[in-house]
Structure 1
């Protein structure tokens, strides 16, 4: 069991890992370059949607994570605006209906008892849904939460258990000696440790490439619109079938005939009354600027599905960077060949849903315990069978670019 662990990254995954490590009795330091939830975790929606996950390892993770969420507010002694509101994936075309029928069949076979509703049944469940909608899925156990509150709740609970939290501290390199992690460089300072967890999301490859570890995480920009406050009008979490199709597209080269912005509807209403309306998927590097054309297309998607939203005012827009991986699954586990180095990143748009289980499994691995789930599908070496590193025979570090 590691005596001291440094967790790099103050988002959903990093704060969850820090909490579960502190809960296990480990001496933990959580390091964040800016503030808690200042990156991707502060630029996303609220969905804990299980039914949108592809059957297999990721769905198994999501089911376990959703179970943890049900007791998390009590465990962390915090209000995270958790609400089991149910989720719907709306269907607009016959082609989408065929695809969603197959997806529902596979979900039900995996134990997630999703229902397929007719258009009239969907409109009865959610008044105001457009007449052209052919149908939707429905699963009552999908939920939502405020991701910023989740991050702060994990961080505060970790601190109560003895964790140190260092904000405004940028990691500039890892110290590796005799093929194991011995510390991190923080803007000129050295903080020694027995293990390090890299939970930096889209910035994970930039750090690990310094020691020759190739991590295939790519930023995938997503844009969200925020409306004025309204009386409750959206009762559940909504995705469109087009959103699911865009999410699962793995090729960075968008076909000319396809939507270059990857727009599909994601819609929910906050406790305060604002609508969060997404979203888009673009490979645009580390650019987080919003694009007027995307704002317009997202608004059009929302109004097509919910015509009564046509006169709702949009008060702001923002964009975040999802950490995309080639197989749409997160990277969890140790880095082969470097003792004490762990990755917990690459969750793309599933970071909210998978945060608790990712943090818990990571803590178990760091502590030398058997993880509560099989992690082999999530190991980094699934991409190339091995991890190439260089210069590990002596103390090595390089400053960030």
Structure 2
């Protein structure tokens, strides 16, 4: 159903956009979502399945992740669809005394924040993860980490939003914004103008391009992640796996430069196994522009890291590789909220590798902002105003 006069227009059909559309539609807000391709056609369809809570920094990111985790627990029953959700637990592998000291500090802060992450020694790690290399000193563990099929989430939320009256328009590219004396009053598209009092940019790594049309410099840049997909095998790992180096490269890009031969790749292991038995093995954190291609160098590096930590993988065949573009911000925090100098305009982007974990909760919180309903959250640390040069 095409809405002639929506109250809100959302640009972007990834998990942030469809989540926002769903929660707005649930509130009865007339909503149109515009996507230049298909739902989950970008980063949300080119990533792994992990809802890894213990990888989040204590404070607002962890609080949002915990709230998002609770939403996921009931999302399948709420939407009436199988999202392949499972609370499978997660581990961060520790290979050196230095990593152990770092993880002890992180775990201490997380426990203070209310999640009962524990550190296992070598024997405890092997007991829970028998296939891991015996050189591993230990690992963190938390049973609250989960996984989900992000493509299924996007399509299920899109269908649910549409069933509540949202207008989902695919193959529709935004070419500009309608402006009036009061601010942003809608969008221009190749198939005509759409007037709306509220416009939300949720276009991931393409958000800066749209921002320029509104006179904004939005400091989001693509950070590529390459992933390997193996043949189907019997269960090899238990839960989600990250390496200590993955956490280092995520939170501090400068540390990636100490990676020797593969320093430019920002290499760090992430691994999960689908219900059908395929392993998804990542990954890289590369600043390579908008290049979505995979490279032999990265495939060799990821495979080598995986075999080093899980030697049994040496005999497992690869089926394919793919890459996605994470929307990276300079301080590692997403941009969520209104643009004060552009009344009517909101941004929800820059979640980097946390988009799946934070997608539904971001959509819920943003729907509260747009609808003017009390959310009880202070999201000011996520405002674009924290960047001094955001007005062009």
**TM-score higher than 0.5:** yes
Match for residue 263 of structure 1?
Answer: 267
Aligned to 1:282: 286
1:345 aligns with 2:357: no
Q: CA deviation at 1:211?
A: 2.2
TM-aligned CA deviation for residue 256 of structure 1: 8.6
CA RMSD, Structure 1 to Structure 2 (Å): 1.6
Q: Give 3-state SS (helix, strand or coil) of 2:65's partner.
A: helix
Contact conserved, 1:336 with 1:387, CA < 8 A, in 2?
no
Question: How far apart are 1:255 and its partner, in Å?
Answer: 6.2
Query: Structure 2: how far apart are the matches of 1:347 and 1:20?
Result: 19
What residue in structure 2 maps to residue 152 of structure 1? 155
Instruction: Tell whether 2:186 aligns with 1:171.
Output: no
Counterpart of 1:272? Answer: 276
Say if 2:92 is the partner of 1:89.
yes
Deviation, 1:364, is 0.4
- Supply the distance in 2 between the matched residues of 1:221 and 1:350 (Cα, whole angstroms): 14
Indicate yes or no: 2:374 matched with 1:370: yes
Contact 1:250 1:327 in 2 (8 A): no
Match of 2:364 in 1: 360
TM-score (norm 1): 0.94
Structure 1 distance, partners of 2:14, 2:360, is: 12
* Structure 1 residues without counterparts, runs of 5 or longer: 390-401
Contact 1:250 1:328 in 2 (8 A): no
Shift of 1:253: 9.5
- Superimposed CA distance per residue, residues 108-151 of structure 1 (whole angstroms, 9 cap, x where no aligned partner): 11111100000110110111111000000000010000000010
Q: Is the contact made by 1:179 and 1:337 (CA closer than 8 Å) also made in structure 2?
A: no
- Return the match for 2:58 from 42, 55, 58: 55
Give the superposition deviation at 1:234: 1.7
Distance (Å, rounded) in 2 between the aligned partners of 1:59 and 1:256: 27
Q: How many corresponding residue pairs?
A: 387
Q: What residue in structure 2 maps to residue 293 of structure 1? A: 297
Kept in 1, the 8 Å contact 2:176–2:188? The answer is yes
Instruction: State the SS of the aligned residue for 1:302.
Output: helix
Q: Which residue of 1 aligns with 2:107?
A: 104
SS in 2 for 1:259: helix
The aligned counterpart of 2:318 is: 314
Judging changes above 3 Å, is the alpha-carbon distance between structure 1 residues 199 and 252 closer, same or farther for their aligned structure 2 residues?
farther
- Larger deviation, residues 239-248 vs 210-219: 210-219
Question: Are residue 219 (structure 1) and residue 225 (structure 2) matched?
Answer: no
Contact 1:252-1:283 within 8 A present in 2 as well: no
Q: Give the SS at the match of 2:199.
A: strand
More displaced stretch, 2-11 vs 261-270 = 2-11
Deviation (angstroms), 1:388: 2.0
Taking the aligned partners of 1:305 and 1:160, their CA distance within structure 2 comes to 46
- Residue from 194, 198, 203 that aligns with 1:200: 203
Once the 2 structures are TM-superposed, how far is the Cα of residue 252 of structure 1 from its aligned partner?
11
Task: Report the alpha carbon displacement of residue 292 of structure 1 after superposing the two structures with TM.
Answer: 0.6
Cα distance, 1:251 vs. partner? 5.0
